[in-house]
Amino acid sequence: YSHDGRALVEDLTGWAQPPAVKKSGSFVSLAQMYKQIDACVGQLGLATLAVSTKALESGSSSDDSTYTNLENQLTSISTQRDALAAQMIALLENAEFNGQPFSNQQARQLISQGQALLNSVNTMT
């Protein structure tokens, strides 16, 4: 079974949190970045909507090069997002449901990649 969410451990008291989540000190930070890049109303979703709107507004009957360029960049960003989100959710789910904690270093690396992805979209607007 695959889903597009994660446990809201911030709302769980200590005894209700899975042990691997407690051991993964960066669980909440990674989960929050996952939301920002994967949720349609997260930072990435809203930024890509702004870029796509800009692309649509840029076209003319004689020149759609800006539109084509921006939409191609968005396609690339979407591919990068999908790959990164898959790595993030794998760590989160393994901690939540399989008792496998992850290191702060693993989380920091993925969070950094997520922030870089957000930054790349924000420079397009």
Which two tokens mark 68?
């084509």
Count of domains for the chain:
1
The whole domain housing 52 covers 23-122
101: phi > 0 → left, psi -120 to 50 → alpha, else beta; which? beta
Look at residue 45 and tell me if it is in a domain: yes
- Quote the pLDDT of residue 115: 99
pTM: 0.89
Q: What is the mean pLDDT of the chain?
A: 91
Look at residue 2 and tell me if it is in a domain: no
Express each pLDDT in 2-49 by its tens digit: 666 777 787 777 788 888 888 888 999 999 999 999 999 999 999 999
Instruction: Classify residue 56 by burial, with Cβ atoms within 10 Å: 0-12, 13-18, 19+.
Output: exposed
